[in-house]
Amino acid sequence: AERIDELLDEVVRRTGGNSPVPAVAPTDVADTAPLDVPVEEEFRVGTMALAWDGEEQRMIVEAQALVELDADSEDDL
């Protein structure tokens, strides 16, 4: 969450405050509902990237699956 805040602060700074990013998160959009149990993962995240799409005025969150290497596959590197 800290990195998201930093990115949004940078968007506001670079646009001189002329962006759709609010100064603080609206309280009416808080998602505090409990998760459905059991939680079934679709994949484990290995790398995450954050970016700002200025044309669409939205944040992009990209999550890439964790790649686990077998002991045998290290020889292929």
Angle at 73 between CA 68 and CA 76, to 5 degrees: 130
Q: Domain limits of the chain?
A: 2-24+42-76
Q: Going by C-beta distance under 8 Å and a sequence separation of 6 or more, which residues neighbour residue 58?
A: 52
pLDDT in tens, 10-69: 998 998 888 888 777 777 877 888 888 888 888 899 999 999 998 998 999 999 999 888
Give the pTM.
0.64
Pick the more confident residue, 70 or 46: 46
Alpha-carbon dihedral 14, 15, 19, 21, rounded to 10 degrees: 20
Pairing of strands 58-65, 45-53: antiparallel
- Residue 7 pLDDT level (bands cut at 50, 70, 90): very high
Whole-number Å distance between alpha carbons of 44 and 52: 24
